Structure 1
């Protein structure tokens, strides 16, 4: 079966309604992507490519922060701005995209975003100044904004609820592959050639992933673009999301999960490149292979959430992250690597559960709800990831790990409240 590469055109007629009668003999005019079908797997694999491209482009500079410190003469906290400015502008762009996506082709918006951000990454490789690099990295974040919220909304709308946990897990697994590949490949290329070759190579791989995404993603079946929605509509939808007692806590989960995770990854390279470890960029990049645990954690946690409940799995994920942070305090390299692996597995498990939960709790305007979650998610990355540099300067790794530990305890409290609400709703 061949699939078109674009969404349906906007029409003035309303979307056909789903029949409420289970005894209706008429076929469903708006079929879901059923788990196991060819269309389901095409969509899941396409969005896996999108997740890969997004995170590889976003975080390819993370293992290069010590290289930026040497090349441009900036401090660790200033070097981390190459990550933070991108995630900050991405947070703003995602929020806007959540509104725009209600009236635009989801397929076209994601394709344009991935293409533009890949090209901007290639441009970064040729920039001579630190401020120029930061400026283009900020533009890259704006360009990437058309992917995360729209991808989550696409899955929430198109995939049957029985298969949503797995599909969302596969998408988040793609982000894990991207995060790992971006770090490992850039670390190896930086050691073999230079940080410029590393960043340029990641940009080229992003373009290839975009081509695969465009070829595979099925057209939307259940989404009808809506034109002419003004500020009043968006304000009403926003108020509805904030009044939903579960959604703001899920936004907090995104803030805590991503903020603590990025903080650890931003500064662990500084620890590992110094005594007593004295690792090279390639060796540090190889450690980031633990990102592959996210490929397992994301779909697995989605399935476990469908079986045991989202609240329980979210609590378990946060507890594992706390355990991982404690392990990174060790002076033994294998124990530190185990701690990074626990932190990574827990992060992707928690993010997969929380992001999938958004689509189920939102009563309408799912693209906007996903955008709000990701706004908090990337603000956590930008703000908390930058603050971590000050803890590193003042207290070294114990300061960074203590900061992350406190963040995760806050998240654990929010997850417990969500679990209680889930039990009450199921009672």
Structure 2
């Protein structure tokens, strides 16, 4: 999964005092963390199920979260973008173990609501390391941010400035500008971002209200597949800095937003390619006294979580005299797989266990059949994969799904009475 960077940065010894202390600090009370591979963690879980055959709900779906993978992503970021401080986007995965680990590593947090601010604060984050990065905020949430001294917050319109003036006049404001996000899977510009032709008016309004604007932010969109979108946005931000300076502002912060791919992206626009463009552009346009932060979310967590589902039913069909199958599993689009709708993800099943044989990581040398995979609810949109191929499976067999850590469990509901899956933790770094 990882590149040659593994041999440069990711080979820190786990038994070094710094690493072991950090990972130990990140542990939460009463939540066990294994020190085995993801494969072995899953096998232990399945073995425990087989020994409890008559226990209620014993075949429920479950998730394995690898905090070691999150740590490796931290090391990769520090190696390739050392100047840019990551503020983890809590919305992507507010898992308490993940948040605690990242807080222990000194990361900041990008929060979009009162609840997310509470999560960061309760984990031990200093208010100065939180940015309330939602340009359109509920008034009571602004009051809460003021009570907690969470000063940094974004805006992109004049109405928000008047609201902030009323409820938090001492806030440290960051102007979110509109950039080209047409080369991203999730285009956020249709909802947020000040067009450049409104910047003068917004800065003048802030000046008239005696508000403290400290910098500029942007977001090139989630799932960006053009590394040069970042450099183009940084150039736009530089222009706003210059405009603000001419108006008497003294900006000190640049927020380059999110859109960074996770470790599972090894072709096309990888994190390494973005870093090779973004880092030098920032250094060329902004002097060292300008603080630069980012809002990565999926980058840290997508590849760290694996979902395991049990096949609860099967339907057989005949298409052009060829058999095909519909498999139903016990997690779906109203659960961990809501990323299919909300995050435009394409998920792919892999055989985990077939006829009692543990098959994680194996390519089964047997005939494959066309099939579809469906979630457990009564809603017909609850389809995880409309067309794929798998060997012939039966009720009771298991599938697993990689790269399921971003915008998955955090958005799950209990529609039709299906609960969110249990999360088990392991640490593959140590």
Normalised to the residue count of structure 2, the TM-score between the two structures is 0.25
Higher relative contact order (CA 8 A, sep 6+): 1
Instruction: Please give the TM-score of this superposition, normalised by the length of structure 1.
Output: 0.25
